[in-house]
Every structure is written in C-alpha cells, then in structure tokens.
Amino acid sequence: MNTRRERMDMKPRYLIALLLLIPLADSLALVAFAQFVLDWRLVVALVVLTGLVGMLLVRAEGRHTLRRFERRVSMGEIPTNEVMDGGLLVAAGAFLLTPGLVTDGIGFLLAIPVTRYPVREVLKRYVVQPYLDKRADGFVSGTVWTGGFPGGDETYDMDPESYRFEDDS
C-alpha cells in the first residue's frame, strides 16, 4: 500500500514525463503540418511568426500585470493574482520561445487573459492551497484539525460502560 509520502514522491516523475512528451508532440505536429502544407518554409515562417506575435503579447500583458501589481501594492493589498499572472507570463514566454506549434499553443493559452484566469484558479486550488495548507497545518483553507491530536493511530472508545474502574480500597 502506498503511503502519502510515496505518492508525493512519484509526482515529479509524472511531471518530468509530461515535460518530455511536449517536444515529442511538437515534433509530430510540425511533421504533420509540414505534410499538410507541403512547404517547409511556410511551416518555419509560421513558427517564427507565432513566436514573435506571442512575445509581443507577453510583453504587453506583462506591462499590464505590472501596473495592476503596483496599483494593488499602493492600495495596501496583497497582489496574489498579479504575482501568479507574472509567473504564468514567464512560463508563456518560455513556451513561445521554444519552436513548435504545441508549445506556441500552450504559450498563447498562458498569455491571453481570458484563458490565463482559469489556469490561475486551478493552480491556486490544486497547487498553492495544498502546499500552504501543508506548511500551515490547515490554517489556509480552514481545515484545521479540532478533534484531538491529528495523525494518531490510537482510537478511544467513549462508551461509559466500557471503562474499567478500579477500587482504591
């Protein structure tokens, strides 16, 4: 039976495998698209054009996110969404600089605000919140353990008839 620790250790393996599948998917998409278009120069031009347009989009979105960040800080608020947007824009830039149609598609998904919002919310829910809950013992999501000591394997029977009382005489 896998313990939680063993399952947590297996996640990086899946992440590495997923990251290795992206170039494979990119190569297959480029070959399939090159056969469809019949001219490799058009495919290369498309990859370069999507990279350039994507980088201009990331640059504009980065400026907009930086302005929102500064506005939130000046109002005394914590710019959590803006920081996450900045990280997603850095990832989008990395994907857009990598030649390929699949990576460009992922980069555009992370660069466009309409599609970046759901990605940010999923990351907050399934990555950031569990990490912070683990570090803060449940105080982030409010799932603080209130029923005794957490993680204990001992079970106590609270039935009053099952207690044994010894006489002190």
65 CB-contact burial (10 Å; exposed 0-12 / middle 13-18 / buried 19+) = buried
> Within its chain, how far is the Cα of 100 from the centroid?
22
Domain boundaries, the chain: 12-141
Reported as a single tens digit per residue, the pLDDT across 54-75 is 999 999 999 999 999 999 999 9
Q: What pLDDT, in 10s, does the model give residues 83-128?
A: 999 999 999 999 998 888 888 999 999 999 999 999 999 998 888 8
d(CA 144, CA 139): 6
Give CA separation, 155 vs 19, 144, 151, in Å: 44, 19, 11
Q: Do 110 and 91 meet the contact criterion of CB atoms below 8 Å apart?
A: yes
Helix 40-74 × helix 80-97 angle, to 10°: 160
Rounded to two decimals, the pTM is 0.71
